[in-house]
Chain A
């Protein structure tokens, strides 16, 4: 759990930034508290001092009159205190040279004297007017000092906070930059996956998706490469045979040799023809997938019978016991001709690979909402490792001795895909050979046909 939290970019940023803010705020709080205490203390002390100093010259304690000032004393003009009566008789004055203007109302006002501005507080008390004035410049400078001393630590803390934020963000995003570097420095045609170790949770799904994409691209790339290699093999072999057969015919000297050569050439041409036909069927079915023009519902059972009779003579030639052993009635939506071609290819395969006197079972099984066409044979089957590739165009199981175009099952798959049907290849449990099942969605009419 802990690993997960620190592995999330969001959690990590929040955690570290919160800590940074809390730490700096605490320090700042402490410093501000201490500074304010010290500063206000100092100001209060200073003002007490000033007050004492300003009261000193106006007091008549050594024989001078109330207006008698000790001229030799240095005057302080920061604070001026004056007590007068409402009819302008001055009772007390801290500064001999500056007389405060009398005001009729209690409160703060401003006045200019001695080339500076004073802030004046007037208190009316019965018939007495008590006034205190303070040099505004001195006040300001005091306040400024206080403000500067309070804000200096804040600035230091802000700098510290900025540095911490920079460090947190940079170190948290480091894995993202690493992935970026990894991707930007790879070779143009490299489809290798990106390392996801140590990636934060927010970026990991992105990189994993990217890796999935890369894997799919690699598979597609390999499939394409396999296809080209397989196609080269499958297209060249019949041509190779034809070329040699023609050479043989050319070199035949006796009538018997010529007969053999012509016969062989004939079978070679048949083989090449079949390949071209299968290629055309495949191309046609693949282009069909875009236009569902001839789609309609039809009795799949009747169609199976047609496909069955198509190939029955071939089965007879090899004395194969081929039969329709289950025929559930059902309707399917699709292209009749395409499905007939598909069934023909499956049955052709079964006949081709079944031994003489083998057995092929063909079943149409209705299964609730779906209908399954199941074809099983007594042939050698397909190794499980080849299930994945056997539907690839031109793929032939290594060492397959039976000649063929390598396109039969590709055609089957293309047509099945066209009808959203699923193909399943497995080992037949009943006959021991190959079992091919094609499952369609059943199509039911509201009113029963016939």
Chain B
């Protein structure tokens, strides 16, 4: 999952960045509205964590421009301004959720998970398919009821593939969703992670569509 963090407060920004990365999210951090707008022009994110009081171009304007472009990326507004009128304005402009600072990290993570889940059209918190289940909240992976340990990257790949079984994701798409700008990506990193995943959960679940990418096969038992 790749997130965009738009936050001008350096202290808050660096902490949120590190904490989200620890959770296995690929996070890009921008500090002003103008940069956020130009980044969103070229890059697709799974979620945007948006502060409202931003330099150059405030958060609501960013949100409005984003929605005017028909960009449907979920937006979680995080701000210290808690006026009801502002919340209403934020939600009406196109925010999907609103969290007031200082927030609890657990709550922030839960809201992020819920928004991502809903954006792919799911209501149930646990992804389950063909005997493999993952729980994004507890980060537990079970194969036929047995817990299996995987790395953060492997987990992220599996989460992406399980979110939409039968949909093929190319290597580029996976890289795009898994790595932020600051992560250097080696040319065969995805292959290495897929290989390791197959060993842990069974080779037949993740199919390699040659020349196209990877998918969770719909036909598998």
Indicate with 1 or 0, residue by residue over B3-21, a CB within 8 angstroms of chain A CB atoms.
0000011111011101100
Most chain B CB neighbours (cut-off 10 Å) among A241, A242, A251: A241
Given contacts A235-B80, A237-B12, A247-B105, 19 further A-B contacts (CB under 8 A): A233-B53, A237-B80, A237-B101, A239-B101, A239-B102, A240-B9, A240-B12, A241-B15, A248-B18, A248-B19, A264-B11, A264-B15, A267-B11, A399-B54, A399-B55, A399-B56, A401-B10, A401-B55, A403-B10
The residues of B that contact A247 with a CB separation of less than 8 Å are 15, 19, 105
Q: Which residues of B contact A271 (CB under 8 A)?
A: 11
25 A–B pairs (Cβ distance < 8 Å), ordered by A: A232-B80, A233-B53, A233-B79, A234-B80, A237-B9, A237-B12, A238-B11, A240-B80, A240-B102, A243-B103, A243-B104, A244-B12, A244-B15, A245-B15, A247-B19, A264-B11, A264-B15, A267-B11, A271-B11, A398-B55, A398-B58, A399-B33, A399-B54, A399-B56, A401-B55
Residues in B neighbouring A244, C-beta threshold 8 A: 12, 15-16, 19, 102, 105
Q: Is the CB of A233 within 8 A of B81?
A: yes
Q: Is B80 a contact partner of A268 (Cβ separation < 8 A)? A: no
Partner of B80, one of A233, A267, A399: A233
Does any Cβ of B come within 8 Å of A276's Cβ?
no
- Listed from nearest, the 4 A-B pairs whose CB atoms lie closest are A399-B55, A240-B102, A244-B15, A236-B80
Does A23 lie at the interface of the complex (its beta carbon under 8 Å from any beta carbon of B)?
Answer: no
Partner pick for B32 among A236, A268, A399, CB 8 A cutoff: A399
Is the C-beta of A185 less than 8 angstroms from some C-beta in chain B?
Answer: no
B113 CB, nearest partner CB in chain A, Å = 17
Q: Which residues of B contact A (CB under 8 A)?
A: 8-12, 14-16, 18-19, 22, 31-33, 53-56, 58, 79-83, 100-105
Asked if A229 is at the interface (CB within 8 A of a chain B CB), the reply is: yes
- Cα distance A398–B79 when bound, in Å? 14
Among B14, B15, B79, B103, the one with the most A-chain Cβ atoms within 10 Å of its Cβ is B15
By beta carbon, the residue of chain B nearest A267 is B11
Q: Which residue of A lies closest to B57 (CB)?
A: A399
Check: A291 CB closer than 8 A to any chain B CB: no
Task: Name A residues whose Cβ lies closer than 8 Å to a Cβ of B.
Answer: 229, 232-245, 247-248, 251, 260, 264, 267-268, 271, 398-401, 403
**A241-B81 contact given A233-B53, A399-B56, CB 8 Å threshold:** no
- Residues A241 and B11 in contact in the complex (CB < 8 Å), given A247-B19, A251-B22, A399-B54: yes
* CB-based nearest A residue for B23: A251
Q: How far is the CB of B35 from chain A (nearest CB, A)?
A: 12
Contact of B11 among A234, A245, A400 (CB under 8 A): A245
Docked-complex contact B55 and A229, CB < 8 angstroms: no
Number of residue pairs A-B, CB distance < 8 angstroms: 81
Question: Chain A residue with minimal CB distance to B86?
Answer: A229
> Chain B nearest CB: distance from A393 CB in Å?
16
Minimal Cβ-Cβ distance residue in A for B83: A229
**Chain A residue nearest in CB terms to B14:** A264
Residue of A nearest to B56 (CB): A399
Cα of A167 to Cα of B98 in the assembled complex, Å? 63
What A residues does B14 contact at CB under 8 A? 264
Q: How far is the CA of A58 from the CA of B33 in the complex (A)?
A: 129
Cα distance, A8 to B92, chains bound together (Å): 51
The distance in angstroms between the C-alpha atoms of A152 and B70, with both chains bound, is: 89
- State the CA gap A233–B79 with chains docked (Å): 8
Q: How far is the CA of A232 from the CA of B132 in the complex (A)?
A: 46
- Give complex CA distance A247, B16 in Å: 10
> Roughly how many angstroms separate A235 CA and B102 CA in the complex, as a whole number?
10
Please indicate the chain B residues that have their CB under 8 angstroms from the CB of A400 in the complex: 55
Q: Which residues of A contact B8 (CB under 8 A)?
A: 399, 401
